[in-house]
Amino acid sequence: MSKIVVALGGNALGDNVQEQLANAKLAAASIADLVAAGNEVVVAHGNGPQVGAIKIALDKGGFVVPMPECTAMSQGYIGFHLQQALGNELAARGVQKEVATVLTQVVVDKNDPAFANPTKPIGAYHDEATAKKLMEETGKTYVEDAGRGWRWVVPSPLPQGIREAATIKFLSDNGYLVIACGGGGMPVIAGEGGYSGIDAVIDKDFASAKMAELINADTLVILTAVDRVKINFNKPDEKSLDKLTVAEAQKYAEEGHFAKGSMLPKVEAAILFAKSGNGKKAIIGSLEQASAAISGQSGTIIMN
């Protein structure tokens, strides 16, 4: 039996309630295959489209809600759908297993260089004049986003710890299928009065790698839109990769083979987990081929 952390992309879950309910069922089938094979599974997920929609809706309603609270809302919303779909799928297969969603706070360093260089666009689009007025009024950073308008950008610091790691590990060790670290977790920093939230977005792949390390998982599975990692992507000499050492993965990353906004953080997160202990294995593959990836028939394996 293996302990597996599965990281789902937020985009794979759709852009609205109906799409998300349908896609959660598809995800549940693949995850249930892993459970039925005897693995202990913890599920993490992204929240890109969902948290943006939450932020826009709250802004329109006149509610000024910080990013950690928006992420918490997305954890509940997505967790509800995944928890329901997984519970139904397991019950239909006659598998007796409880599913639990854990609201997860992820600790970041207030001195992380990312805070000096916010890069993650969030929320509504504005014209330039409105954006500059908002910057003057709030002190927040707005940037022009691909010709579509100006948007608020927040930092994306690296996760340093997970406050609920012991809870997640306890539940998993005792037979629960756990959903945690949704949207990369609510970013929190330590201060004199304890922990408090901070406006930021944590990459869900890095958060998943940190969680996998802290709960002593054997395998991190990062599910995306492609079956395998590729080099020379969309070029005549494109090549799919079945297995990489950490050194090989680092070399390809440094050579610029992986796009910053998509495959690069997945490869970097896989490298971090593979380096976290002897025998640790990370797999990058597609949702539809999750079981095949675990058995080595699909996906790209990264390990020392």
Is 97 one of the catalytic residues? no
User: Residue 204 catalytic?
Assistant: yes
Q: CB neighbours (10 Å) of residue 38?
A: 8
Active-site choice (46, 55, 183, 204)? 204
Which residue in 9, 10, 52, 123 is the catalytic one?
10
Selected catalytic residue, list 55, 169, 210, 266: 266
Residue type, position 256, single letter: G
User: Per the residue annotation, which of 3, 11, 140, 304 is the catalytic one?
Assistant: 11
Q: Is 260 a catalytic residue?
A: no
Q: Catalytic residue, from 3, 120, 140, 275: name it.
A: 120
User: Please, how many CA atoms are within 13 Å of residue 66, restricted to the half-sphere of its CB?
Assistant: 10
Residues tagged active-site: 10-11, 120, 204, 266
